[in-house]
Amino acid sequence: MKDNETPSEFVSDPPDVDTKTAPLKSHNPPSDGNTSSESKPSRTVNLLELAAEVESSTSLEEIRLSGDETPIILFTPETTEVDLHYCPEPDIKGYVRCQEKECLLCGIERKQNRRLCLPVYLPTEGRVGVLPVSLSLRPHALLTQLINILKTIDEEQPEDEPEKQPQVVFLRREDNFKYCVSTRPLPPDTDAGEAQIKRFLSEKDQGLIDIATVIPKIDGDQLKAIPEILQMMKLKGING
């Protein structure tokens, strides 16, 4: 797939879709089913327990590249494929996940783009993030350069050579089709994120993390509320 005119990463904040609501534990006894909505007792929430629940799960966010360098540490070659649609409408102005079956954006023939979502460690923020990468394999494309670095990391180390130092990868987007990528050894006194990476991989193996969710998914009813999309539906003869 070749890059098109749309930006290869998000160009602005995604839609205001709440995907991080913390679970709340109720400490009230179960209802007998006869309580009316007016007299339904309020719930008691222990703030310490709530904070522990929020901290116990890895919160993932997508990484938006810009003209400034973003340092990352690669720790896995495994990615998650995600099909996206770019929406230039002011209410969205970014990528959203394809709904696949009965996708409204597919229905109005909005171009589908595929991205590889790669988890990486962000040493300046002390967390794991997700980097959406285009499938373009042009010489200056991001995927091409990341693959070359991953190959170097994966090379077997001769026993008579000193252990490899972790590498910091600096990413910078020059335009929609060209990325500047460089590396340097991680300074000895810098946290390489071993604890955060181990926790992320453990939660992923347990099925507690869905990497694709860093890309917002907007349901049909919400999309129909956007005037430009609703008008396109009418022009295409699609009944809402």
pLDDT over 80 at 7, yes or no: no
**What distance in Å separates the CA atoms of residue 3 and residue 141, rounded to the nearest whole number?**
10
- Classify residue 195: in a domain, yes or no: yes
pLDDT over 60 at 54, yes or no: no
Burial (CB count within 10 angstroms: exposed 0-12, middle 13-18, buried 19+), residue 100: exposed
* Of 21-25, 121-125, 131-135, 194-198, minimum mean pLDDT range: 21-25
pLDDT over 50 at 116, yes or no: yes
- Classify residue 226: in a domain, yes or no: yes
70-74 and 112-122 beta bridge pairing: antiparallel
**What distance in Å separates the CA atoms of residue 146 and residue 142, rounded to the nearest whole number?**
6
- Classify residue 33: in a domain, yes or no: no
Q: Which among 10, 11, 8 is positioned nearest to 176, based on CA atoms? A: 8
Residue 193 confidence class, pLDDT cut points 50, 70, 90: very high
Q: Which residues have CB under 8 Å from 16's CB, separation 6+?
A: none
**Residue 203: CATH number of its domain:** 3.90.198
pLDDT over 70 at 182, yes or no: yes
Across 121-141, average pLDDT: 94
Torsion of CA 194, 199, 202, 205, to 10 degrees: -100
Across 223-234, average pLDDT: 94
- Classify residue 180: in a domain, yes or no: yes
Number of domains composing the chain? 1
- Classify residue 131: in a domain, yes or no: yes
Residue-range definition of the domain harbouring residue 141: 47-154+165-236
- Classify residue 30: in a domain, yes or no: no
**What distance in Å separates the CA atoms of residue 214 and residue 96, rounded to the nearest whole number?**
10
Which DSSP string do the residues of 146-183 spell out, in sequence order? HHHHHHHHHSPPPTTSPPPPPEEEEEEESSSS-EEEEE
What is the share, in percent, of the chain residues with pLDDT greater than 90? 57
pLDDT at 3: 45
pLDDT over 50 at 144, yes or no: yes
pLDDT at 201: 95
- Do the beta carbons of residue 168 and residue 71 sit within 8 Å? yes
- Classify residue 74: in a domain, yes or no: yes
Across 190-202, average pLDDT: 93
**What distance in Å separates the CA atoms of residue 147 and residue 191, rounded to the nearest whole number?**
24
- Classify residue 122: in a domain, yes or no: yes
List phi, psi (to 5°) of 28.
Answer: -90, 150
